[in-house]
Structure 1
Amino acid sequence: MTVPRGVVVPVVVQVAGDGALFTQPGLTAERLSYSVMTPSAAVGVLEAIFWKPEIRYRIEKIEVLQPIRTFTLRRNETTDLAPLLEAAKGTRTVDTAANRVQRNAVCLKDVGYRIHAHIDLERHATKPAAAYLDQVGRRIESGRCFSQPFLGTREFPARFGVPDDADPFDVSAELGMMLHSIDYTVTPRQSRWFLARIENGVVHVPRYGITGEAAVVA
Structure 2
Amino acid sequence: MDKPNIIEYRVFGRYALFTDPLSKTGGEKCSYQIPTYQALKGITESIYWKPTIMWYIDECRIMNAIRTESKGIRPIKYSGGNDLAYYTYLHNVEYQVKAHFEWNENREDLVYDRNENKHYDIARRMVERGGRRDIFLGVRECQGYVEACSFGEGKSEYDGTDLSFGIMVHGITYPDEAVREDEQGKMTVRLWNAQMKNGIIHFPRPEECGIRQILREAKQKPFMPEQNFRGLQEFEGGGLFGMVQDFG
Alignment of 1:38-117 (within 5 A): 38-80=36-78, 95-97=79-81, 100-117=82-99
State the partner residue of 1:122: 104
| Whole-angstrom distance in 2 between the partners of 1:11 and 1:41 | 16
Q: Flag the structure with higher strand content.
A: 1
Sequence identity (%): 25
* Alpha carbons of structure 1 residues 195 and 62: separation in structure 2 relative to 1, 3 Å: same
Alignment of 1:132-151 (within 5 A): 132-145=119-132, 147-151=133-137
**Structure 1 residue 212, shift from structure 2 partner:** 4.0
The higher relative CO (CA closer than 8 Å, separation ≥ 6) is in 1
Does the CA contact (< 8 Å) of 2:8 and 2:99 recur in 1?
yes
Give secondary structure in 1 for the equivalent of 2:84: strand
Is 2:181 the counterpart of 1:199? no
| Whole-angstrom distance in 2 between the partners of 1:47 and 1:213 | 24
Does the CA contact (< 8 Å) of 1:168 and 1:200 recur in 2?
no
| Whole-angstrom distance in 2 between the partners of 1:25 and 1:148 | 24
State the TM-score, normalized to the length of structure 2: 0.71
Is 2:139 the counterpart of 1:153? yes
Cα deviation, 1:99-129, whole Å, max 9, x if unaligned, reads: x211111110000001111102113343243
Task: Give the gaps of 5 or more residues in structure 1.
Answer: 81-94
Does the CA contact (< 8 Å) of 2:8 and 2:149 recur in 1?
yes
| Whole-angstrom distance in 2 between the partners of 1:106 and 1:200 | 26
State the partner residue of 1:92: none
Please give the root-mean-square deviation of Cα atoms over the aligned residues, in Å.
2.2
Task: Give the gaps of 5 or more residues in structure 2.
Answer: 176-183, 215-248
How many residues are aligned here? 193
Amino acid in structure 2 at the alignment position of 1:38: T
| Whole-angstrom distance in 2 between the partners of 1:7 and 1:210 | 28
State the partner residue of 1:25: 21
Alignment of 1:5-20 (within 5 A): 6-20=2-16
